[in-house]
A and B are shown apart, each in its own frame.
Chain A
Amino acid sequence: MLDVKIHNLSLKNPVLTASGTFGYGEEFADFIDLSRLGGIIVKGTTGSHREGNAYPRMAETPSGMLNAVGLQNAGVDVFCQKTYPRICDIDTNIIVNVSGSSIEEYCETAAKIDALDKIPAIELNISCPNVKKGGMGFGTDPKMAAQVVGEVRKVYHKTLIVKLTPNVTSIADIAKAVEEAGADSVSLINTMLGMAVDVERRRPVLSTITGGLSGPAVKPVAVRMVWQVAKAVKIPVIGLGGIASANDALEFLMAGATAVQIGTANFLDPTVTVKVVDGLQDYLNRHNIKDIHDIIGMI
């Protein structure tokens, strides 16, 4: 059995896609049966349209990549009117990643998503390293994190997942603060702040100088943080960062994650998500484990 629950949200399996790496799901419909996923977390959505950062926004790094997309999206109203009707009938959980630069913006966006019947949860992104105002700022200070989560909690009534940044000294402290403020779950990690230099051109590769590191390079850090947070909070933890195989996912589950997300690995193999689902089932079969819960948090 692979089904798990994140608060009121039932997942047919613990495999979700990470925001910003899977578009709105449609981009991958030619490659996989989307209904086989536990859920799809769509691109970061803000109160109004955002153009994002200038090109270049991406740098390849050892076993990973830096990105500086900067929350380019059409805004919540376009999402509700145009995107939602297109994707709401995909037979899996569609979760919206809600981003913003102010508490008002987070609340306004969350309230609009709350009204959408077929969106059972949001992931509050208080951890984006690629925007000048807000974003990660809310996620690096326990008080500010609690404040934004508390305010969103007042207007959002379904499952509220809060996405944490690894760019902090004690991620467990932030997790505890958002748990107290009313989060139903935490997901981690967002990207790690990094930088790359083009030595021939003698300038940073990214237009924004710094960007967010993702991919296998961050996995050990992410597993460690999931383990620390799972020990510190009672709400379910969703683990991500560098997952590219069922074994990677199992590391996170054993370290305490109830579900996982797959991000950058989708770029290398657009079918990776269903391979991880199959791999998890195969692992349970091989080890005679009936229920995935028997391994969740076993370490």
Chain B
Amino acid sequence: MKKHIADFVIAEKKTIGSSYFTLLLKSPEALPEILPGQFVEVEVPDNKEVFLRRPISIHDVDYAANTITLLVQVVGKGTRTLSQLAEGRTLNLVYPLGNGFAIDGQKPLLVGGGAGIAPLLYTAKKYSEKGIRPAILLGGRTAELIPVKEEFRPYGEMFFATEDGSLGEKGLVTQHPAFGQSYDSILTCGPTPMMKAVARHALQNGIRCQVSLENTMACGVGACLCCVTKTDHGHRCVCKDGPVFDVKDMTEWAES
């Protein structure tokens, strides 16, 4: 898939709770095909402390309007600066990067935690285009830290788990009753301990499972080898060979 570099325009910015925001970005050209789970490397303007681009998942795509949406959590200097940009500003993106999720299985489960929820919306839409309604299980410490909820509802059956019990079941996503149901495919993105727990469950039960990793990156295109993860076959680039990995190649990672 051809990679592009382009100046997008911030068409709309929305703040969600105390730490999340979305950016609706309008493309100057017709969007290329984008796979669910792919990401962009965004240049952070106006902040001399930020040297490298930041990898952010593609949350949603609208080919008719030529827009993509990013869902971002403010965790440091780069994401804070992005949250402060005004509508109408341009933002330079290198995209679409990475391999993306394979949309497979007849009875899939999507498990998202925190900012890891971002790539799952477009993924759920892709399932729905195939006439499949996935189970969607979203988790966070509190209800507020699950930034996007209702947007998912048209595409699947929703379940929530929060550590403080403020939404859905109290506890971790892996303790949610819906998690133990039978599925033929699990797709997950979120905090590493959560993904490892999901991966171990899938490996033990022989369920196909894809995890989307979030290592820090420099180039984003497989050139610098800074972003590697350990796999059962040695180091692989999260930016190019991933960010999505099949857990059958990640058994050591899942157990670590």
Stretch at the interface among B144-152, B193-201, B218-226: B218-226
In the complex, residue of chain A having the shortest beta-carbon distance to the beta carbon of B50? A60
Tell me whether A69 and B52 are in contact (CB under 8 A): no
What is the interface residue range for chain A against chain B?
A: 20 to 34
Tell me whether A69 and B51 are in contact (CB under 8 A): no
Counted as pairs of residues, one from A and one from B, with CB atoms less than 8 Å apart, the total is 89
A57 in the interface, Cβ–Cβ < 8 Å? yes
B255 in the interface, Cβ–Cβ < 8 Å? no
- Chain B CB count within 10 A is highest, among A54, A58, A67, for A58
In the complex, residue of chain A having the shortest beta-carbon distance to the beta carbon of B224? A21
Tell me whether B223 and A65 are in contact (CB under 8 A): no
Tell me whether B229 and A62 are in contact (CB under 8 A): no
Tell me whether B223 and A57 are in contact (CB under 8 A): no
Tell me whether A31 and B3 are in contact (CB under 8 A): yes
Which residues 47-80 of B have a CB within 8 angstroms of A?
48-53
In the complex, residue of chain B having the shortest beta-carbon distance to the beta carbon of A271? B5
In the assembly, what is the distance between CA of A79 and CA of B235, in Å?
Answer: 17
Closest chain B CB from A198 CB (angstroms): 12
In the assembly, what is the distance between CA of A270 and CA of B48, in Å?
Answer: 19
Chain A residues near B216 (CB-CB < 8 A): 56, 58
Tell me whether A215 and B234 are in contact (CB under 8 A): no
- Could you give, for residues 46-57 of chain A, a 1 whenever the CB lies within 8 Å of some chain B CB and a 0 otherwise? 000001101111
- Could you give, for residues 125-163 of chain B, a 1 whenever the CB lies within 8 Å of some chain A CB and a 0 otherwise? 000000000000000000000000000000000000000
A117 in the interface, Cβ–Cβ < 8 Å? no
In the complex, residue of chain B having the shortest beta-carbon distance to the beta carbon of A57? B226
Tell me whether A60 and B52 are in contact (CB under 8 A): yes
Which residues 39-82 of A have a CB within 8 angstroms of B?
43, 51-52, 54-58, 60-65, 67, 69, 72
Tell me whether A60 and B5 are in contact (CB under 8 A): no
In the assembly, what is the distance between CA of A270 and CA of B92, in Å?
Answer: 12
Tell me whether A65 and B52 are in contact (CB under 8 A): yes
Q: What are 24 A-B contacts with C-beta separation under 8 Å? A: A21-B223, A23-B221, A23-B224, A27-B219, A27-B222, A31-B3, A52-B235, A55-B229, A56-B215, A56-B216, A57-B228, A58-B226, A58-B227, A62-B49, A62-B51, A65-B51, A67-B224, A72-B228, A72-B235, A267-B52, A267-B218, A267-B220, A270-B219, A271-B5
Point out residues on A near B: beta carbons under 8 Å: 20-23, 27-28, 30-31, 43, 51-52, 54-58, 60-65, 67, 69, 72, 215, 264, 266-271
Across the A-B interface, give the 6 residue pairs with the lowest CB-CB distance, nearest first: A23-B223, A58-B226, A30-B3, A27-B223, A267-B219, A27-B221
